[in-house]
Structure formats: C-alpha cells, structure tokens
C-alpha cells in the first residue's frame, strides 16, 4: 500500500515516529552536491529540482523539527557537502541527525548513522524503518499508508 503526498519546494514534510522524525524537502533547483567519503574521495551527486533531501533526527519535538529545517537550509541553499564517516567511527554514536539525497530513499533502523555514502538508504527510528520515499513531480510517494505526518511551510 502506498500514499502519495503533495509537496512543493516551499514546504517540508515531517514523518513522526515514536522516537524520531524524518523531514523531507524538495531540492527545489537543479544542482550538484558533494559527498566526502572515508577513502578521502569526493562523490558528485547531480540533483534535479524534484529530488528529495530526507533528514532523520533521533528525537521528537519542536527542537528536532527546528534542527531538521536548519539542516535542510544548509544542504539545499548553502550546498553544504555531505560527510560520510568510517563504519567504526566513534562520532557516529553522537550524531543527532543524518541525511540522504536523491530520487528515492529507504529508511532503515539497522544501519550505523552517518556511515553510508550510498544515498538511497537513511538511518531512522524503529517505527519509521522500512518506509520507502520516492519523488514525484508533485510531491512524494511513501511505500506505506502513514498517517502520523504534517506539512509546514519553510
């Protein structure tokens, strides 16, 4: 079962789980973003305006929603590079948010935050794990019929 949600470039969609939130925005313009890898390489990702920036926060409430909005702005408007940590890096345990970019993202609670250069998977809380997010021209398709969400203007 899927759910299509309309989302334009001036809005943010919050998927609200039991212990975490995922915020999704449209990239809003064709652009490139860089990903720094543990191998000291840079990967260039070419994004289209209807691609997604999905940001997963490991907590709930207004503070986390505000942080997600800030991270969306830094990534989308400032074109800040994405940094990927090595799999055994101790900082990954301290991350409060992680993000993924592209046309499709799968949420998964069984991965280490911040360690995946692949942009089609994103660490999330357990209650959102397994959801798949796919871009559309008008919004987003979610693989499950989720009803604990809200949309705000940004």
pLDDT in tens, 78-93: 999 999 999 889 999 8
Residue 100: pLDDT band (50, 70, 90) is: very high
Long-range CB contact pairs, 117-122, < 8 A, 24+: 117/35, 117/37, 117/43, 117/84, 119/35, 119/45, 122/22, 122/54, 122/56, 122/98
In the predicted structure, residue 123 carries a pLDDT above the cut 90: yes
Does the pLDDT at position 146 exceed 90?
Answer: no
Return mean pLDDT, the chain: 94
> Cα-flanking dihedrals φ and ψ of residue 66, to 5°?
-65, -40
Which pTM value belongs to this model?
Answer: 0.95
Backbone angles phi, psi at 148, to 5 degrees: -100, 75
pLDDT at 52: 98
pLDDT at 145 over 90: no
Q: Which has the closest alpha carbon to 132: 121, 147, 119, 117?
A: 121
Q: Is the pLDDT of residue 116 over 90?
A: no
Average pLDDT score over residue span 65-89: 95
Percent of the chain predicted with pLDDT > 70: 100
pLDDT confidence of residue 107? 96
Spatial separation of the C-alpha atoms in residues 52 and 54, rounded to whole Å: 6
Residue that has been written with the tokens 């993202």 in this structure: 105
Residue 116: DSSP 8-state: -
């Amino acid at each position: 079962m899927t759910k299509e949600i309309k989302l334009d470039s001036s809005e943010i969609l919050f998927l609200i789980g039991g212990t975490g939130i995922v915020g999704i925005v449209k990239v809003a313009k064709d652009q490139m973003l860089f990903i720094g890898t543990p191998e000291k390489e840079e990967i260039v990702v070419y994004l289209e305006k209807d691609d997604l920036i999905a940001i997963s926060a490991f907590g709930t409430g207004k503070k986390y929603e505000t942080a997600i909005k800030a991270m969306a702005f830094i990534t989308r408007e400032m074109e800040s590079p994405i940094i990927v940590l090595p799999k055994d890096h101790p900082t990954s345990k301290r991350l409060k948010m992680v993000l993924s970019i592209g046309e499709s993202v799968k949420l998964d609670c069984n991965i280490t935050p911040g360690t995946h250069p692949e942009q089609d998977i994103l660490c999330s809380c357990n209650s959102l794990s397994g959801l798949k997010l796919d871009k559309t021209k008008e919004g987003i398709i979610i693989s499950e019929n989720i009803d604990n969400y809200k949309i705000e203007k940004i």
